[in-house]
A and B are shown apart, each in its own frame.
Chain A
Amino acid sequence: MTAILRVECLTRYFAGLAALKEVSFEVEQGLICGLIGPNGAGKTTLLSIVAGSLRPTSGAVIFEGRSLGGAKSFAAARAGVVRTHQVPRPFSALSVLENVEVGSRFGSARAADGSLTPRRILEWVGLAGLADAAAGTLSVGNQKRLELARALAARPRLLLCDEVCSGLTGAETASVLALLREIQRSGTTILYVEHNLRAIMSVCDHVVVMNHGRKLAEGPPQEVQANPEVIEAYIGKKAGKKAARQAAPGRDG
């Protein structure tokens, strides 16, 4: 299987504080890869570095075999790596349609597939009725959809989703997850940072767990979920020990 993204020994310091410490992992093409971890684990930092919004202190980001090497975010987007933002950042003075047009008229250098016009994307995402509304007037849920629509319009080969489900109701979350699966089916790889564990487990093929800036574990969702260290990171030492005991019965009674 080909790895569309390889993150090698990524390290990032913020004035003496290590947000990321030598994190390495791969994302296979065509999969939805989840990135989870408790608050402060460094997930968004990592996402920002891959997207080009932030430069690593050291380490490499290799996309489709070529190093992105601290490129600025627009260069990353041109290469096919596009992100959404955790807190939506719509272009308020533009209409919803125009917002998506920014993505489609710029975005990756890949030739546009004629069928995926801005309007089609809005339909896909469920915002067709609001195409002419000013983006600044949208509800939070719709702004998150707009983030997705805009990023999609930029024709990403790797879509970086930053907590697209945070702040959404159960029903909204379900529909966004369904959307993500459709995006994956259409050939785009997704790296998905999320806090909502249930969402991650239901939609991801592979999960990477981070804690305190380091990679803690990775693997299929079920495996990761049962990992004692992961449980300890999220809940606490006791639960972790309990899980370890359950995993190896008869070890210490």
Chain B
Amino acid sequence: MTALAEGTEGSEGTEDAPRPQRSRFLAAAPPLLLVAGLAALPLTGLGPNSIRLAFVTFVWITASVAWNLLGGFGGQVSFGFAVFYGLGAYAAAVAINAAVNPLAAFLLAGGVAALASLAIGLPTFRLKGPYFAIATIGVSEAVRVVMTNLSPTGGASGYRIVEPGAFRQLHHFYTALALAVVAVAVSIAVRRSKLGLALVAVREDEDAAGDLGVNPFRTKLLAHALAAALTGAAGGVHARYAAYIHPQGEFAFGIGVGILLMPIIGGLGTIWGPVIGGVVYGLIHDEVVASFPQLHLLIYGSLLILIVLFEPAGILGLVNRVAALARRRLRAREPRRMEPR
């Protein structure tokens, strides 16, 4: 779908090779400013409801960016990321209840999810695209069923996290923000790395990639594990906030769908597309479910159809197209100042 090319902010087409140091600094500035701005958000006097919304959005951004590693860069569409989200939630919950340090609990959540991804990936990555996708649906449902029946973790009645001390919302806010930042950093690192190159090659043409020495199976497993770990951590972070989790909520098919929708809405296969998608989804999801409880599937389904048919590159693609159009219009209007006739 989308090219691997870096988001074109900052580079104006035909200029001489820029000095590497300066351009890297310029490119890093906007995201850093963004993070600083977000970190300062609570200081602006936002109410707890808005803070909660931001918190949830950060969690979604993490999951979205994570999914994009496998689904966007690698082209392997998994509907089953609710498994990692849920397993991470439960792992963290159990750990925290056992008085494990929350940070360690989140790492554990990521680890558990990564292991699960290996167990799932080993059989399912043998399948081609859509069949892999269907298989992941099966995984999701199967895990949900199993967890619903598993009594040590409360089964269908759910599981409660009990933590000493008062509830500090800002604490959770910054944790989620930090996790989202980590996720984006991982995303950038992967895309620049050998793994990133391998993923795109596998996505574009798996057989040709193999012919050149790329091991497609291992590549997918690796990306899957990274994505699962981040998603699991996100689940853990959210679980700690909610303090109560249950299988119908954590492993819901809707979560898997949401996680997949976000990068598609924002711009599949890019760095910032999933972030945009996460923001959009995070901010409107609750609204949508609240205002149109009967219609949210319809809305998301139609959105998906429209995106596939008209703008496969998502919001980022739309923005790029509009920007390119604007640039062309501007250039056409400029009087020629170059070569003398």
Contact = CB atoms under 8 A, between A and B. Distances in A.
Interface in A71-109: 72-74, 77-78, 82-83, 85, 89-94, 98, 101-103, 105-108
Contacts of B214: 74, 102, 106
Interface in B212-232: 212-216
Interface stretch (B36-44, B155-163, B197-205, B254-262): B197-205
Contacts of A93: 2-4, 200, 203-204, 269
A134 B213 CA distance: 22
B213 A85 contact: no
A97 to B, nearest CB: 11
23 contacts: A51-B211, A52-B211, A53-B207, A53-B210, A72-B210, A73-B207, A74-B213, A89-B207, A89-B208, A92-B204, A93-B2, A93-B4, A93-B204, A94-B4, A94-B197, A94-B200, A102-B209, A105-B194, A106-B212, A106-B213, A106-B214, A107-B212, A108-B213
Given A98-B197, A105-B197, 6 more contacts: A91-B204, A91-B205, A91-B208, A93-B269, A103-B213, A106-B214
B263 to A, nearest CB: 16
Interface string A174-207: 0000000000000000000000000000000000
- Point out which of A51, A74, A77, A90 has the most chain B C-beta atoms below 10 A from its C-beta: A74
User: Secondary structure of the B side of the interface?
Assistant: helix
Interface of A: 51-53, 72-74, 77-78, 82-83, 85, 89-94, 98, 101-103, 105-108, 134, 150-151, 154
Contacts, number: 78
A154 B209 CA distance: 11
A190 B141 CA distance: 52
Contacts of A150: 212
B210 A77 contact: yes
B204 A77 contact: no
A112 B207 CA distance: 23
A103 B210 CA distance: 10
A115 to B, nearest CB: 20
B196 to A, nearest CB: 10
A29 B205 CA distance: 31
A108 B207 CA distance: 16
Contacts of A101: 197
Contacts of B208: 85, 89, 91
B205 A89 contact: yes
A98 B209 CA distance: 12
Contacts of A53: 207, 210-211
B201 A74 contact: no
Contact of A91 (B2, B201, B210, B216): B201
Contact of B204 (A85, A94, A108, A151): A94
Nearest to B218: A74
A85 B4 contact: no
B4 A77 contact: no
